[in-house]
Homo-oligomer: A and B are copies of this chain.
Amino acid sequence: MATENLSERVSRGEAAAVARAISKIEDGSSGAAALMKEIYQRSRGALVIGITGAPGAGKSSLVDKLALFYRQAGERVGIVAVDPSSPFSGGAILGDRIRMQALGLDDGVFIRSMATRGNLGGLARATVDAVAILDAAGYAKIIVETVGVGQDEVEVVKAADVSVVVLVPGMGDDIQAIKAGIMEIGDIFVINKADKEGLYATEKELESLLSLASRGDGWDPPIVKTVATENQGVADLARAIESFCQAQLGARVSSERRLAIARWRIVELLRESLLSRVLATDASVAMLNRLADEVATRRRDPYSAVEEIIQAAER
């Protein structure tokens, strides 16, 4: 009953209900699956924009300015910042607090940081569920921001309708390292801090990398130059996003992409569900702890430990 009420309140766009729903799926609490089944029935087809880039590329500023742009066009905007526990990612709490000052008093904007949930994993799944909740709540544009390094983070960006990769000038030494992966992930490239030295070189190198790629969908990823802190180029980015979405409408590649995303989402969720089921009882957790001790002291290898857990679960 409480769950029914919660999903109803989410679909009425109540911010407090959205926050509670996201916490519920982040905790992996028992009602989460039931809630999400209802949430998915209430999906409205928001545009999901993934924005990724190395630390220091100015992603947060760019995301905030893009959100303001959509707000000025009268749209409600959701922002999900993925914050893996890492020395190089921004701090979730600090980040939220700073942002609240600029955007948070506007109730047409909902900002949420998603943090790592410890060694049971599930950050990518929780992020995708948070997006579904924001969609059900009527946020028409949902921006997912990640530090674009790491398997989970890349998957999250791939799961967006459009993926934006943010670079900065002066990546000269490193642009060699920006190899094949970038072609796959970026629908649109932004060179932010475009007033800094090295713009021309970075742009040329990026162009030559892009010219080597063949995407198979006829889309030619544009390079948009921005100075997010000065609000320069943000409208250009919004236009590029719009163009990409128009180009993808009904395209064959686009439906293949949706299929790959759906498959990935099921597999992620399946992986998590199977693990929770096996580790659901106190006895199984005790067994895990005993085996961990044996592995730590080299009396046993992890593979035979896993076999023992699976055999016990099957009994």
Contact = CB atoms under 8 A, between A and B. Distances in A.
Contact of A263 (B116, B155, B258, B289): B289
8 contacts: A55-B177, A85-B154, A119-B264, A120-B267, A262-B295, A266-B291, A267-B288, A269-B306
A252 interface: no
A152 interface: yes
A301 to B, nearest CB: 3
Contacts of A43: 298
A261 B297 CA distance: 11
Interface in A174-215: 174, 176-182, 184-186
Interface in A35-63: 36-37, 39-41, 43, 52-56
Interface stretch (A69-77, A103-111, A271-279): A271-279
A153 B173 CA distance: 23
Interface of A: 33, 36-37, 39-41, 43, 52-56, 84-91, 94, 116, 119-121, 123, 147-155, 165, 171, 173-174, 176-182, 184-186, 255, 258-259, 261-275, 277-278, 288-289, 291-293, 295-298, 301-307, 309-310
A263 to B, nearest CB: 4
A151 B84 contact: yes
Given A173-B56, A259-B293, A178 B87 contact: yes
A56 B275 contact: no
A272 B268 CA distance: 11
Q: Lowest 8 A-B CB distances belong to which pairs?
A: A150-B150, A40-B301, A87-B182, A262-B295, A263-B292, A262-B296, A274-B274, A91-B179
- Majority-rule SS of A interface residues: helix
Contact of A309 (B54, B154, B264, B266): B266
B270 A306 contact: yes
A29 to B, nearest CB: 14
Interface centre among A36, A84, A182, by most chain B C-beta atoms within 10 angstroms, is A84
B54 A55 contact: yes
Given A263-B119, A266-B291, A151 B85 contact: yes
B151 A37 contact: no
B149 A152 contact: no
Contacts of A40: 301-303
Given A149-B147, A177-B55, A295 B265 contact: yes
